[in-house]
């Protein structure tokens, strides 16, 4: 009897110790599962984005060739996702970009001026653009987004050659004072955007394919660029 009583007491003690441990383990598992559900595969919010591409413009000379040839476009953007749903997002973005273009030579300018060309530039161009866009994207899958965006801003095309030489070699003999160099030019941009969220947390890659319109000077062009994006 004493042996049975001792065994019963030992079993009761084991059950008393095991029950809280089991409850703690179950609670820890539930907490772990809950934490896993909170972790997001796609980060949204404030972001920085850097892009590289080209920006060809389609103004042509008297024989149908483009007046300027694109070399490279680089830009840096900061933005914020103001709407963040599972299948829909909206963002506002400010972008500072630089474009390099090869322009016509002086002798080519003389021929164009003689032909009465309505649009001319002094030579190679370095374009600075400050724009803002509004973007709406949908997500066919969790890690891939496709959207549209649009906005505008200003572009500035400084004169790269010496001002005196510009006046002596181009303006005075050819009668040309290129409109593209006359201060800020209103700029409209808009197009499509693609984004893929990598397995590396906070990083995504994608492409913006914009249509550009620099009013009063460079005219209509395209600006496709691939980008790397970091969302905080």
**Out of 72-76, 138-142, 175-179, which region has the weakest mean confidence (pLDDT)?**
175-179
219-231/88-102 β-pairing: unpaired
Looking at residues 3-18, what average pLDDT do you find? 47
Higher-confidence residue of 222 and 66: namely 222
| Residue 59: per-residue pLDDT | 83
**pLDDT value at 186 more than 70:** yes
Sign of CA dihedral 164, 100, 57, 134: negative
pLDDT at 118 (0 to 100): 56
What distance in Å separates the CA atoms of residue 60 and residue 123, rounded to the nearest whole number? 14
What is the predicted pLDDT for the residue at 105? 79
Mean pLDDT, range 64-69, rounded to an integer? 84
> Which residue did the predictor score with more confidence, 169 or 160?
160
Rounded to whole angstroms, the Cα distance separating 120 from 220 reads 15
Residues 6+ apart with CB under 8 A from 62: 111, 112, 115, 117
Task: Report whether pLDDT(20) > 80.
Answer: no
Please provide the DSSP assignment of 148-171 as one string: EEEEEEEEE----S-HHHHIIIII
Q: What is the third-level CATH fold of 43-231?
A: Porin (2.40.160)
For the chain, which residues make up each domain, given as ranges? 1-39, 43-231
pLDDT value of residue 7:
44
Tens digits of per-residue pLDDT, 25-45? Answer: 555 455 444 444 444 568 899
Q: Which of 73-87, 153-167, 218-232 has the lowest mean pLDDT?
A: 153-167
Q: What is the pLDDT of residues 102-118, one digit of tens each?
A: 988 777 777 777 766 65
pLDDT tens sequence across 137-150:
999 998 899 999 99
pLDDT 10s digits, 193-210: 999 999 888 999 999 999
Report yes or no: 120 and 112 within 8 Å, Cβ to Cβ.
Answer: yes
Average pLDDT over residues 44-69: 90
Residue 128 has pLDDT above 50, yes or no: yes
Phi-psi sector, 228: left (phi>0), alpha (psi -120 to 50), beta: beta
């Amino acid at each position: 009897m004493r042996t049975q009583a001792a065994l019963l007491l030992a079993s009761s003690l084991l059950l008393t110790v095991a029950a809280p441990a089991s409850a703690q383990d179950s609670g820890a598992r539930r907490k772990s599962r809950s934490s896993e559900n909170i972790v997001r595969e796609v980060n949204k919010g404030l972001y920085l984005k850097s892009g590289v591409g080209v920006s060809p413009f389609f103004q042509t000379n008297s024989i149908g060739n483009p007046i300027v040839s694109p070399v490279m476009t680089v830009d840096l953007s900061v933005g914020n996702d103001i709407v963040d749903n599972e299948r829909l997002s909206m963002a506002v973005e400010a972008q500072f970009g630089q474009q390099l273009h090869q322009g016509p030579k002086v002798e080519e300018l003389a021929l164009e001026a003689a032909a009465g060309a309505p649009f001319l530039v002094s030579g190679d161009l370095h374009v600075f653009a400050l724009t803002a866009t509004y973007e709406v994207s949908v997500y066919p899958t969790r890690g891939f987004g496709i959207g549209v965006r649009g906005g505008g801003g200003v572009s500035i095309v400084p004169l790269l050659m010496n001002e005196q030489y510009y006046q002596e070699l181009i303006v005075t003999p050819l009668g040309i004072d290129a409109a593209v160099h006359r201060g800020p030019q209103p700029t409209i941009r808009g197009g499509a955007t693609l984004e893929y969220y990598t397995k590396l947390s906070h990083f995504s890659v994608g492409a913006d394919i914009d249509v550009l319109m620099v009013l009063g000077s460079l005219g209509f062009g395209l600006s496709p660029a691939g980008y790397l994006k970091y969302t905080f």
